[in-house]
Structure 1
Amino acid sequence: MSFIRFGSVAALLVLAGLPTSSIAAEEGRLVFAARPKASEIKAAFPAGATVTGDAEVECAVADKGVLADCKVLSEYPMNRGFGAAALGLSDRYKVKVKDEAGASAVGRKISYSLEFLAPGDANPDWVRKPTGQDLAGVFPVAAVKAGKDGRAVIRCRVTTEGFLDRCVVLSESPAGLGFGQSALALAPQFLMSPKIRAGQRIETEVTVPINWAGLAEGGFASVGKDRLILDPPWKSAPSLAQVEAAWPKAAAGVDNGQAALRCGIKETGALDDCEVISELPKGRGFGKAALGLAEHFKVSVGPGDAKLVKLIHVDVPFRFRPPGATGRQLTKPRWIQMADAEGLALAFPQAARKAGVKNGLGVVSCAVTTEGRLADCEAAREEPAGLDFAASAMIVAGSMRMNPWTKEGDPVDAQRIRLPIRFEDGGDEEEGAAEAPAAPAKP
């Protein structure tokens, strides 16, 4: 576990698989005053072991906070020496003699867990950390008005490229002031080294608690005088070909890059007055490439919203890969146009209705266009078979549209998805329903 401070703003990062200590407290929470150093854990890797392992040890707290009567609770893999290695580090721990409630810690039980990385293995770690400026830049307007600092916890997947993906808010406090959304706004600007096991990059999850401290009364102007939005409904966005064409010449030999823009919005929905707010690696042209792609974005502006958009700023993330590179995934698109009840009712297969079947499932495989629409759909599966549910699903899919730019910073075109659509026959009222989660098409 590492604790990262940025001026008056602090962010706490908890990485899955890092050496951690779990505390079993009977009253107030027990707190470790000392732990083994990373170099000591590395040096304790069991002789003869060839894979990463972990162990949990339970001890009693003795005088002056030292640990005594320690025993191994668990180890994995078994019989590889990880339990003994963890036990041998018990003298590197020390517990504060008073718990958080002020009660004595002596005589109470406490446990710690350690992970021992095999040579060549690694856990995710920061490549680009959030800066104090990053955190201040998304401080919620509602929190400014309320004069309150806050905290949010997000959980993200770290891809094999080190991007943070599929982030969700686990908690925020105080609730309702926007700290969760502000934390999500930061995720596309971060980059981490991926998890490595046996020489292979592996996807994993990290939990990132972020604290905003000392900003509520900082006296800075809120972004856009009103609010900052993320992942707006895009009317248009750059295509994969345009993103690949923007790959900077100065980035030769770089595996990938990322950037983020903060832009105003014109009455037409086009982006205006964009500035680069993050770029990694720096000096390789990714910020300039993002600025060059800004002209291809346009926000869907509804009737009567023309004046409102002048008060709004939008953060636009970008992920860059060398032309022809793989790695993009479309696992959870944001649908901005779905089939309505009338359309679903009209699409319910007549063959199923004549057979007296009231519900069914059609699964189709479709290509995604630059506009986020589905094209070249093929029947993949249907239940019950032979009643045209897959054919009906193709009709429904043609009326749907996803956001053409993901909240992580990728175009959606040139990919295929499998789309399951469930139909229910409403009888005389002819009502229908569809459930359409998307997943990558199987090869």
Structure 2
Amino acid sequence: MPIVLAQVAMSPPAVVAPAPPRPSIITNPDWFMKPTGDELMALYPKEAQANRVEGRAVIQCGVSARGLLMDCAVIREDPAGAGFGDAALRMSALFRMRPQTKDGVPVSSGVVNIPIRFSLPPPAPPAGLPPPPPGSLDSRTVQMMKKPGPVDYSRLFPLEGARRGIEGHVILQCVISDQHRLETCSVLEETPAATGFGAAALKLSKLFETSDKALDGTASTGRPIRIGIRFNLPHPG
């Protein structure tokens, strides 16, 4: 009986297209146009500004041959959901980089990561504060020999303020003791009010120590002193 050999057609191996090369990261961008402070404030998220919330965002953008940013995306926002990412994307149109060149011709050149920090100016001194007592000192007229450090501020930062992403400012009125410590302190102003910053500032006041003389050479002991204490939210590096 004859044997018939079947022929099996073998398909050629599939050709897998190579993955496109990953764009290079520009680590030292040469900017010749960046947003001004006024432009940053114009794009500051309104609700965050009203609540005195500061934040930051990092956007990643491609760079055209003309040095314009394109195809931007938010890769980090802190605090999340506060609008800083969207504000940073709108701000991308205000950047312009000196383009890289090849054989003297400008070329598009990879992607760039741009960190943008949104900071608010210190709150204006509240109106209606009583005038300082006669002979009163402040942080500009007497040297502080000891002050609270970042760990102290972090430890005493009000939980409500941290939960809401709110920063605060407090003005205290105190007296300099014989040991050059602050005593009999009271809260003159707390911003925002009723968020725990006043109580935290009173605890921090125990960690200050002044020099024995004011900057004009007069004794500091027993004199009233008015100090401002600002509570800033920590930002990731």
TM, length-normalised to structure 2: 0.40
Specify which structure has the bigger relative contact order, considering alpha-carbon pairs within 8 angstroms and separated by 6 or more residues: 2
Larger Rg: 2
